[in-house]
Structure 1
Amino acid sequence: MKYTTEEICKKYDTADGIKQTWLSKVKELFQYTMPDRDNFNKPAAGAESQNYQDNREELFTSAGEQAVNEFVNKMQEVLCPIQQKWIELEAGYLFKENIREAVNKELAKITDIANEFKNVSNFDEAFSEFCYDVFAGTGCLLTMPGTQLGPLVFRAIPLKEYCIEESVNGDVEAVYRKFSMKAERIKYQWNIKEDKEFSGDDKDREVQILECTYKDLDKGTYVYLVLNYGEKKEILRQEYRTNPFTVLRWNKAAGELYGRGVGLTVLNDIKTLNMIKRYGLMALAYIFPPMLVKEDGLLSAKLDLTPMAMNYVGTAEDLSALIQPLFNSGYKIDLEQYRTLELQQDIKRNTYGNTLPNEGSKNLTATEVNARLNELRNNLGSVFGRLIRFQTDLVRRIIDILIITGILAENESGQSFDITKIDNLTYRIKINSPISRQLKLAEAQDIIGVVQIFSGMDPSGAMLSRIIKKDDALPYLAELLGMPARFIYTKEETAQIDQQQAMAAQAQQEAAVQADIGAANAKALGKAGANIMELAAERQQ
């Protein structure tokens, strides 16, 4: 299943036409929440596209900017915490139970390598930029091979540049990215060895690039293409086992192509708050209305109605009437009647900002921390599946690149790790992020609650021992509570420890028995000796 260059360009034109129907609301959201990051109104290429532009003249409140910054910080904290090892692999259902522990030890080595190279890459910076687009509803992260020292290169793709296409099962299958680049940078961007060297005006010539990927259903691979969109020529073609573009759609209804982010939910609240602030400042200015100064002559033809302006009319007969206000309605605007504090709280709550009391304190109680985590978990319930899917696709891509670049070497049998077997049946991806741990904590609390109930009914613990498999439940509970697997004894290790303890107890018991026998013998010998002495004494008498 291959497409020609012309077919790819037509598919992009169709996908871009669909995206344009979504952009009007997205542009408005950027204007109110990310005005300095709004690249929709910037030139497509050239030095002007990099110039600073002030788009904040119509903003009278920073509530929108604060909301998006808090959202990005929260997502980075609970999904992909900075410089932490949240990637984890484990053996799936298809492995027999008696070999899963050995397989997990080998997988731990792979995940340690993946976490280390992720942490030394630019992932944290790119993910932060990626979350700003997710605030609007849809974000796209491009992951490509780099150098031997830096094999992972991440790039957040602006929403302006790309459009997407769904497969029959609703997954994002094709991504098209159109942007401009100087001709001399093309070969350096993709490490292309060309015979032709650009010279003269060709070096500064802007080339329209169409970067795209689609799935070859016949091979089960992803085709990565770089095209010259203007000339309809192919520049680069590569095939990967994973999709270079990882797309997250925050929330969507059936049949929708792009996601709806929390920013769209609070957009009207932000606009209302901005309007209240704007007209409140205008009303404040007109508390000091324009003045009339009585003087000889008629009313000036240039009547100025700006606050504190001076307009000369008539002749002043006395000093008391020298200066008079032009009008004074006596009306005062009370902004509290619009409940601006409630608007601000609604904006923060819907964008997962801190909404509990004492939010300005650095020392929160355990109850407040737990309440915030529970609130966040409940709010993320509808999109949690999408977040986990995004992270698992990203982990597949990271491991695939480490295999391509040779970082993950072949095993003893001469075979490298098979990325296609990360299907949650052979190998399963576990995301060890704070929000995942919070969900595990809820399950752990259920187990602890059952144990407490049975312990209260039977303090001796006999009922608990008959119902619950302690050898299985306790290690699982420790894992749910966040204990790393390498610190938890396996069943084999537990059996070995039990055997050693049993042998030690038996040896101690045997030693005690021998001691008792020795003591008894010594006592018997002592009695026998005493009897002999008595007999000897009697004979002497």
Structure 2
Amino acid sequence: MPREIDDLVSRHKRLKDRRRVWESHWQELAEVMLPRRADFTTEHMAGERRTDQLFDGTPMLARRGLSSAIDGLLKPKTARWFRIKTQDEAFNDDESIKRWLEVAEERLYRAIYDRRARFIQRSGEVDDDLVTFGTGVLFVGEGQDLNRLLFRSFHLKDVLLAENGDGEIDTVFVTLRLTARQAAQRFGEAALGKDTREALINGAEDKLFTFLQVVMPRKERDTRRRDNANLPFASLVLDVQSEHLVSESGYHEFPFAAPRWDTTAGEVYGRSPGMIALPDANTLQQMGKTLLVAGHKAVDPPLLVGDDSVFGTPKTFPGGITTFDMQAARDLGRIPIEPLQTGFNLPLGREMQKDARDQIWAAFFRNVLQLPIDAPRMTATEVLERKEEFIRTIGPVFGRLESDYIGQVVERSFNILLRAGAFPEPPEILQGREVVFDYASPVEQARKQIEAAGAARSVELLAPFVQADPSILDNFDGDAIARDTPDIFGMPQRWLRPKETVDSLRDGRQQAQQAAALPGDAQAAANIVQSLAQAGRGGGGQGGGGLL
């Protein structure tokens, strides 16, 4: 066991050394965009002010705007942003399967947004890290009572990541700083190392200790067993100071979502919009400082005072009286005190400042994120073109985040609840089959609305031909268009009647129409019979005489 601890500590050190170049970059980003995280290379006291050297809040506002947009576009609490379906599309129309999937979807949604799970708070912290540093880390697990989900975010300075051969993150090292008391509550006093136990005994229960948690694929395991020691992913916790293995457990799935904004070949950590905005952000701080000084000089300018023309020091405070030599004033032809003209140009400085701000807002996609908003006096074509531009620009980024971020959250959460028995017994036809998740984010809805607009334009183009030949409309499946409408415009699926109900209504309507048509048909038949009878009476003698 000591050899295993040594190997893990050595690997942690190698990954830490390899990542050191990133930390100085992250520190510089945090100082102007996310000051509360600005302790990668500098230690700060809890509660310490961290904005004393900032002269413009635009970088922080731009970061906050994009972070909020991620939450609203990927995982809006006000809308159902994921749906559960069977992998085989043929089973999605089965009513028993559909009802079970709807129940599972509702329970999963409630579990994720349970107040105690703290998904909104923790995912918001990850969003901030993602747009600032390019990488965020979110843990998806269970509460200590094992009856609810629990989400945790981690400061990037405390997390080291490693990829597998396919470029997927499958190993995480997390540095935990816990007091002796917290460690005993979390792992049990008996499991702690010697130094930590002695701190508890000696009354130093608030002394801080460093622990290292490692989650990685388990190399050797018995796949026939499902205990903690044989699960696919191992979780080891080390008491670093005591060089002691505190606990060993495991996970059925990789428990971390580690989204990266943009990746480069050979780099484990992502790159962010903040990195694009950093040069302008630093320039803007210098501009803000310079303009602040210039504005101060403009309002309270430095003074020019003639030598030996003023008695004492000029009193520049409100109500101050300065006495000067009248002879000096006569010699100069003016009062011997005047402001010093420095030649500053505040309007030019403000214009340069605005240009830098615009560059920062553009780096954080402000102009793109406002594209889908229907501005006044916009034609339908202009709205559609702006939405298409929105999809082309932001779509690829959010596609990656759906896969690496919310996809990992939803799938891991579903499996946790499934193992905990939080869902009803699935129908027999569904047992043993896989389910998949569709993400109905506003980005995906905008894409579908573009497709719907294309269909509307197609019908508009065909309108003259339909007037000549209405049968052209037989090429369109109206039922398919109607049933796709909820997905396109975000309408609740429960507002749509099941296909069986629709078929039943149509059959009933057809029968009613047939029944309504029967009286008219009977009257027509009666008229025919009456006509035949009258004809028979008018020529009956002749016919009868001939037969006889």
After superposition, the CA RMSD in angstroms is 4.1
CA distance in 2 between counterparts of 1:232 and 1:406 reads 38
CA distance in 2 between counterparts of 1:335 and 1:439 reads 42
For 2:354, the aligned partner's letter is L
Report what 2:227 is aligned to.
Answer: none
Which of 120, 124, 128 is equivalent to 1:128?
124
Matches within 5 A, 1:64-213: 64-93=59-88, 96=90, 102-121=96-115, 122-136=118-132, 137-146=134-143, 151-189=148-186, 192=188, 194=190, 198-213=200-215
CA distance in 2 between counterparts of 1:199 and 1:13 reads 31
Secondary structure, aligned partner of 2:157? coil
CA distance in 1 between counterparts of 2:347 and 2:250 reads 63
Report what 2:545 is aligned to.
Answer: none
| Cα distance change on mapping 1:203 and 1:365 into 2, 3 Å | farther
Structure 2 unaligned regions, length at least 5 = 224-230, 539-548
Does residue 349 of the first structure (1) align with residue 362 of the second (2)?
yes
Q: For the Cα contact (< 8 Å) 2:86–2:436, is it kept in 1? A: yes
Report what 1:295 is aligned to.
Answer: 308
CA distance in 1 between counterparts of 2:59 and 2:67 reads 13
CA distance in 1 between counterparts of 2:140 and 2:45 reads 24
Does residue 57 of the first structure (1) align with residue 52 of the second (2)?
yes
Deviation at 1:123, TM superposition (A): 0.9
CA distance in 2 between counterparts of 1:324 and 1:332 reads 23
Secondary structure, aligned partner of 1:251? coil
Report what 1:487 is aligned to.
Answer: 495
Q: For the Cα contact (< 8 Å) 1:74–1:352, is it kept in 2? A: no
Matches within 5 A, 1:244-323: 244-287=255-298, 288-295=301-308, 317-319=327-329, 323=336
Deviation at 1:30, TM superposition (A): 0.9
| Cα distance change on mapping 1:113 and 1:366 into 2, 3 Å | farther
| Cα distance change on mapping 1:405 and 1:194 into 2, 3 Å | farther
Report what 1:534 is aligned to.
Answer: none
CA distance in 2 between counterparts of 1:156 and 1:273 reads 31
| Cα distance change on mapping 1:214 and 1:149 into 2, 3 Å | closer
Structure 1 unaligned regions, length at least 5 = 532-541
Report what 1:216 is aligned to.
Answer: 218
Report what 1:538 is aligned to.
Answer: none
Q: For the Cα contact (< 8 Å) 1:36–1:53, is it kept in 2? A: no
Report what 1:33 is aligned to.
Answer: 33
CA distance in 1 between counterparts of 2:189 and 2:148 reads 20
Deviation at 1:139, TM superposition (A): 0.7
For 1:9, the aligned partner's letter is V
Report what 2:541 is aligned to.
Answer: none
Q: For the Cα contact (< 8 Å) 1:89–1:104, is it kept in 2? A: no
For 2:357, the aligned partner's letter is Q
Deviations 1:425-483 (A, max 9, x none): x4221112222211222222223332332334323431231x33444344235533333
Does residue 391 of the first structure (1) align with residue 386 of the second (2)?
no
Q: Name the structure with the higher helix share.
A: 2
Deviations 1:476-534 (A, max 9, x none): 3553333343433555444444333333333333344235446777x789999xx9xxx
CA distance in 2 between counterparts of 1:56 and 1:328 reads 32
TM-score with structure 2 length normalisation? 0.79
Q: For the Cα contact (< 8 Å) 1:110–1:408, is it kept in 2? A: yes
Report what 1:428 is aligned to.
Answer: 436
Secondary structure, aligned partner of 1:339? helix
Deviations 1:258-279 (A, max 9, x none): 1111111111112222222221
Q: For the Cα contact (< 8 Å) 2:16–2:160, is it kept in 1? A: yes
Secondary structure, aligned partner of 1:428? strand
Deviation at 1:328, TM superposition (A): 4.1
**Which stretch of the first structure deviates more once superposed, 401-410 or 432-441?**
401-410
Report what 1:537 is aligned to.
Answer: none
Q: For the Cα contact (< 8 Å) 2:368–2:394, is it kept in 1? A: no
CA distance in 1 between counterparts of 2:363 and 2:420 reads 42
Q: Percent identity?
A: 20
For 1:32, the aligned partner's letter is V
Does residue 16 of the first structure (1) align with residue 10 of the second (2)?
no
Secondary structure, aligned partner of 1:139? coil
Q: For the Cα contact (< 8 Å) 2:161–2:172, is it kept in 1? A: yes
Deviation at 1:171, TM superposition (A): 1.0
Deviation at 1:158, TM superposition (A): 1.2
For 1:58, the aligned partner's letter is Q
Q: For the Cα contact (< 8 Å) 1:138–1:250, is it kept in 2? A: yes
Secondary structure, aligned partner of 1:54? coil
Report what 2:421 is aligned to.
Answer: 406
CA distance in 2 between counterparts of 1:188 and 1:379 reads 48
